[in-house]
Structure 1
Amino acid sequence: MRIFLLCSLLFSYLLAQTYSDSAFSANGEVKYKNFTSFDYVNPNAPKGGHIKQYALGSYDSFYDFLLKGTSAKGLSLLYDTLMVRSFDEPSSQYGLVAKQVQRAEDNTFVIFHLDENAHFNNGKEVTAFDVEFSFNTIARGENPSMVRYYADVKEVIVVDKYTVRFNFHNPNNRELALILGDLPILPKHYYENTILSENPLKLPLGSGPYKIESFEAGRSVTYRRIDNYWAKNHKTRVGYFNFDKITFDYYKDDAVALEAFKSGRYDYREESSAKNWAVGYEGIALKNQDIQKIELLHSLPSGMQGFVFNLRKNVFKDRRVREALGLAFDFEWSNKNLFFNQYSRTKSFFDNSEFASVGIPLGAELAILEPYRSKLPPEVFTQSFSLPKSKGDGNNRENLKKAQALLKDAGFIIKNGKLYPPTTQSNTKEQPFTFELLLVSPAMERVAIPFQKNLQTLGITMKIRIVDVSQYINQLRQFDYDMIVSVFPQSLSPGNEQAFFWGSKAADSAGSYNYIGIQNEVVDALIAKIIQAKDYQELLNSTRALDRVLLWEHYVIPHFHTKTFRVAFWDFLEHPAITPIYNVGFETWWVNPSKLEKLQMKYPSLRR
């Protein structure tokens, strides 16, 4: 009895050393206190309608946390998470399956108290045992990327049926509570005797707003809204999930997909191609305003898209070589002739955010970098990073001359118009500088071809190969490529994902996002500082320092970005008056049935 009493007193003392609320933010206070719905929804949005969206390629799995396979679109509709994020705040979460969260003042643990009303879509209630099972399945499963993502979580403990506690290895990881809040909840009773990697198309069961109604493996998947969804009146769900059915149809080619959209085969499209946006939607439906095109300003960090070097290949290990190849990409010409001047050059891994480095490092940022001065390019401390520019007239001569000088300095020589790398112990045969650019999007080929021609001027042969989505994903997972085009998206509050992108431990781990193969102790140290930042200012300075190092190492040849969402849709779709600044918010749109009926008379393909 005395031992039990002492344990109870100790547990009560530990709980006293916590922050307790139904919402929290990593960077200050939450926006929404006493609220009934988020500002960017229509609480009275009508329910109904069957809408179609599109996806490219194919799929062979309903589980996006597995190491193998290509997962279907829309799977997030199936599962609730412990907490949910708002679309108009950078780093706030509000309770969903967890009605309350307690965070230790010293960040050594977090406790989630579950909503007793939460239940899966077969009627069984959600318990702490399901949360424990979900964590062990996802965070301790076969996918090394997931294992690393949750590595700072020491253990999960079921306190009681509706209370679950996570203890942390690393109390300096300020993002852990947010990461756990995003955890999708799987039903233990449904999955515990299933080896999902052997049955990846087993119909999923969740507690979310939709279930899979039907599918044709690799070609389409249809989700149906749950009428008795347990959280349909929850304040974080009001105004969301208004469509009765959502179908994703798969297309092998984006050009074919665009034509299908224009003919009414599907209803909504976020456009990534500047050429398509400028001229691709022309036709009767657009002329009659039956198709709407809108651009929505956003405040999202651009992230980094670019030509990505694979440093596992010897020819790209020299920084001078990477810089030289970057000089051969003529953005100004491409923007003018290919993109209708719609894009801005991406100058930072955190462009369009205050995390982007500017000028030369000063003050606290300089203090962070100073201990690593001898291990960094000297330009990090003396120059403001800038990308090469041209007049956009197709004459990139000055930049190519600089590239030739860099390659010569790196020991490369020209023979009969071909560039040859320096002879080393690992490279005793004379082979000209040749590499392959692996692409999955045919639309990117037109960006690559002018780059290819400029490289030919330098004596470098770049072969271009386009493969289908499944093959591309498999080659990415095995790092089987010389160069790719990739995107490294950035969150509104940089943290653990940086280790996925640039960390040494991820470089040799199949399935990681360290496509570049970076193994740099300074980068590792800066990632640790970001993850362990004690406050927002330290996070800001550490992220800017990392950005500066990544840029000066010339790990990628930066591409371009736009500061708007480019959205095309058939005119029977409607959306709230307020668009959130961090998301299109398509989950809050709805169908206008009278508009749909009129359009279906004109375009029979819109009938479902």
Structure 2
Amino acid sequence: MKAPILLLTAGLLLLPVGALADPKGGLAMHGEPREEADFSHFPYVNPDALKGGRARFAKQGTFDSLNPFIVKGGSADGMREYVFETLMARAYDEPFTLYGLIAETVDTPPDRSWVEYTLHPDAKFSDGTPITVEDVIFSYTVLRDRGRPNHRSYYKKVTNVEKTGDRSVRFTFDDSGDREMPLIMGLMPILPRHALTPETFEMTTLEAPLGSGPYVVDQVDPGKSITYKRNPAYWGRDLPVNRGRYNFDEIRVDYFRDASSVFEAFKSGLVDLRDELSPNRWAQGYNFPAMRAGRVSKEALPIETPAGMSALAFNTRRPQFADPRVRQALIRLFDYNWVNRTLYHDLFAYSQSYFARSELSSHGRRADATERALLAPFPDAVKPEIMEGTFSFAASDGSGQNREGRIEALKLLEEAGYTLKDGTLVNTETGEPFTFEILARTRGQERLLLTYAGALKKVGIEVRIRQVDAAQYERRKQTFDFDMIPNFWGASLSPGNEQSFRWGSKAAKAQGSLNLAGVQNDAVDAMITAILEAKTREDFVSAVRALDRVLLSGDYVMPLFYLPDQWVAHWKRLKRPDKTPLYGYQIDAWWYDEDPDTSAEMREP
């Protein structure tokens, strides 16, 4: 099937607002899409990959819903990826570029004040019902009014939606200047108007939903497993964005109570693949019979995206963390070098940025002229050493004593109104001891936190480590019912609207958002706006670095570690393409081949 042609006007400033540009192969956030209009497949897939077989994955925790678009309940893994589709598909070897999927073409003016999509004539839901403009408008309305907070926040920037043709729909945006909105709307999941009731949309359900994606829900064992079956009549199987993808006939996700059970299932062959996040296990845990027999592969795959931020978030809504000096003291008490060596075999790197491992990081870089201009209205928002690129989170000598850290921390705590009395840190005015609770979900988290609690105890701070089950952990996380909590905020090469959901002032008050720290900072809001309004890659990178500097200066989280590579272990019956994209491996490009001597090129897909 010939690739759909997408129409793009962004960036051609000499064209009038309504004019169409030459046909393009996609829509990029900055610059032009890499692929030509007639591209056949993404470069990181094997277009001749075998079709068939069964892939089995594992998830820790449980689920009680098949609706991934609402706050209530915990949705089963894979619903967004396998059952529901978006208007456009993302390329994972470009910072932020979309290509046609449900939408065959896209048009947007240079100022990106509106976007118009024309639907693919063959697009249909898995029950055979064609996808219409009315379905698109219905999806927008339901997600705006009843979806997760990120959908509600993003879609409020749409001021008008109208049907402009039998297969075309136009979204007009407000005057916020958010240039990401045409891409945000391109990633909107499309729901079936004939199979959903808006009034019950926010209720959890275990009834198999109707989507348009390559798989349908086959079996559900509530809270324990979900099985997806490849739809042989999938309408989009021959599109360029899908060629070489979705190769397994069946995908099963089993749920386990703890990480140890997940690993045991993998070792026994009940699970085919695992992302390894534990340096201890990576260094010492893979000496089991199947590995020694050569039936399991262990690979450190390259990844070129920002590492994101793994950290302990201070809930600044709580009075004990309202003073930044207290947060700075607690960060200084974390002995990174000793922890990394004794707990993690020195395999981790210390996070010095919210965008570590990429050009978006401000660490070690002096703020450029664009950054300084953006930050000028907020003279106290960034610490001088962070502005100059000379700041690093302090590292100890690795002895486990961290004497300098304790001295600096106690000085900061004294300035914040605390004093050490009979071995207990107390509020100087009230005499109340300084105590707090850290929420944990896994034993691995608990081990790290107990180590940290021991360091805090040396300065008179009593910390309670509370490990809770997955459901309670998510509930407390979504309602901000914690003092401190571990979390990971992933990052891409094109951060955008999600930054508002994570760090924006409005999100601090929206339950279910990822602004766990409760950040309410005018400079943060302004830098996010600058990111969204940036017209060139250069201005965009400067705006992201400026945001990084403000967040680092606020001491909202205690940074932890990141992996230098993507650690993956898998049974060799699962095969992968030779090329790994910027964003790391994509499991939907893998395939099943039980015979190790037979390649995909030798057999009919």
Task: Decide: shared fold, TM above 0.5.
Answer: yes
Deviation per CA, 1:461-502: give whole Å up to 9, x if none. 111001111111110111000000011111211211111111
1:581 partner amino acid: L
> SS of the residue aligned with 2:55?
strand
Relative to 1, partners in 2 of residues 1:169 and 1:20: Cα closer, same or farther, differing over 3 Å? farther
> SS of the residue aligned with 1:373?
coil
Which residue of structure 2 lines up, in the alignment, with residue 291 of structure 1? 296
Deviation at 1:29, TM superposition (A): 1.4
2:454 partner amino acid: K
Deviation per CA, 1:215-243: give whole Å up to 9, x if none. 11110000000011111111110100110
Q: In 1, Cα distance between the equivalents of 2:381 and 2:42?
A: 48
Q: In 1, Cα distance between the equivalents of 2:594 and 2:137?
A: 43
Structure 1: gaps of 5 or more residues? 1-11, 598-608
Q: In 2, Cα distance between the equivalents of 1:431 and 1:152?
A: 46
Which residue of structure 2 lines up, in the alignment, with residue 593 of structure 1? 594
Which residue of structure 1 lines up, in the alignment, with residue 29 of structure 2? 26
**Superposition TM-score, scaled by structure 1 size:** 0.92
CA contact (8 A) 2:360 2:493 kept: no
Where does 1:51-450 land on structure 2 (aligned, <5 Å)?
A: 51-75=55-79, 76-170=81-175, 172-192=177-197, 195-357=200-362, 358-374=364-380, 377=383, 379-381=385-387, 384-423=390-429, 428=430, 430-450=431-451
Deviation at 1:198, TM superposition (A): 3.0
CA contact (8 A) 1:60 1:217 kept: yes
> SS of the residue aligned with 2:420?
strand
Q: In 1, Cα distance between the equivalents of 2:239 and 2:531?
A: 34
Deviation per CA, 1:110-144: give whole Å up to 9, x if none. 00011101111111111111111111111232533
Deviation at 1:362, TM superposition (A): 3.7
Q: In 1, Cα distance between the equivalents of 2:22 and 2:171?
A: 15
Q: Number of matched residues? A: 581
Deviation at 1:197, TM superposition (A): 2.6
CA contact (8 A) 1:19 1:103 kept: no
Q: In 2, Cα distance between the equivalents of 1:231 and 1:258?
A: 35
CA contact (8 A) 2:146 2:201 kept: no
2:73 partner amino acid: G
Deviation per CA, 1:343-373: give whole Å up to 9, x if none. 1101001111111113443422112212211
Q: In 1, Cα distance between the equivalents of 2:41 and 2:381?
A: 51
Deviation per CA, 1:63-105: give whole Å up to 9, x if none. 1111211010011200121111111111111001111100022
Q: In 1, Cα distance between the equivalents of 2:310 and 2:155?
A: 26
Relative to 1, partners in 2 of residues 1:56 and 1:43: Cα closer, same or farther, differing over 3 Å? same
Instruction: Confirm or deny that 1:536 pairs with 2:541.
Output: no
Deviation at 1:22, TM superposition (A): 4.3
Deviation at 1:531, TM superposition (A): 1.5
Q: In 1, Cα distance between the equivalents of 2:332 and 2:309?
A: 17
Which residue of structure 1 lines up, in the alignment, with residue 7 of structure 2? none
Relative to 1, partners in 2 of residues 1:106 and 1:264: Cα closer, same or farther, differing over 3 Å? same
Quick check: 517-526 or 224-233, which moved more? 517-526
Deviation at 1:171, TM superposition (A): 5.5
Q: In 1, Cα distance between the equivalents of 2:455 and 2:317?
A: 24
CA contact (8 A) 1:507 1:517 kept: yes
Q: In 2, Cα distance between the equivalents of 1:294 and 1:553?
A: 37
1:28 partner amino acid: G
Q: In 2, Cα distance between the equivalents of 1:375 and 1:391?
A: 31
CA contact (8 A) 1:309 1:484 kept: yes
1:390 partner amino acid: S
- Equivalent of 1:50 in 51, 54, 60: 54
| Percent pairwise identity | 38
CA contact (8 A) 2:142 2:198 kept: no
Deviation per CA, 1:237-285: give whole Å up to 9, x if none. 0100110000000001001110111011111111111111111222111
Relative to 1, partners in 2 of residues 1:585 and 1:324: Cα closer, same or farther, differing over 3 Å? same
> SS of the residue aligned with 1:414?
strand
Q: In 1, Cα distance between the equivalents of 2:87 and 2:34?
A: 19
CA contact (8 A) 1:59 1:219 kept: yes
Deviation per CA, 1:144-165: give whole Å up to 9, x if none. 3321122222222122331111
Deviation at 1:288, TM superposition (A): 0.8
Structure 2: gaps of 5 or more residues? 1-14, 599-605
Q: In 2, Cα distance between the equivalents of 1:381 and 1:292?
A: 44
Quick check: 414-423 or 341-350, which moved more? 414-423
Deviation per CA, 1:307-329: give whole Å up to 9, x if none. 11000011111111101000111
1:210 partner amino acid: Y
CA contact (8 A) 1:434 1:460 kept: yes
1:385 partner amino acid: F
Q: In 2, Cα distance between the equivalents of 1:341 and 1:170?
A: 49
Q: In 2, Cα distance between the equivalents of 1:193 and 1:407?
A: 52
> SS of the residue aligned with 1:140?
helix
Quick check: 141-150 or 64-73, which moved more? 141-150
Deviation at 1:192, TM superposition (A): 3.6
CA contact (8 A) 1:572 1:593 kept: yes
1:326 partner amino acid: I
CA contact (8 A) 1:315 1:421 kept: no
The runs of 4+ residues in structure 1 deviating greater than 4 Å are: 17-20, 374-383
CA contact (8 A) 1:400 1:458 kept: yes
Which residue of structure 2 lines up, in the alignment, with residue 9 of structure 1? none
Quick check: 162-171 or 207-216, which moved more? 162-171
Q: In 2, Cα distance between the equivalents of 1:368 and 1:451?
A: 37
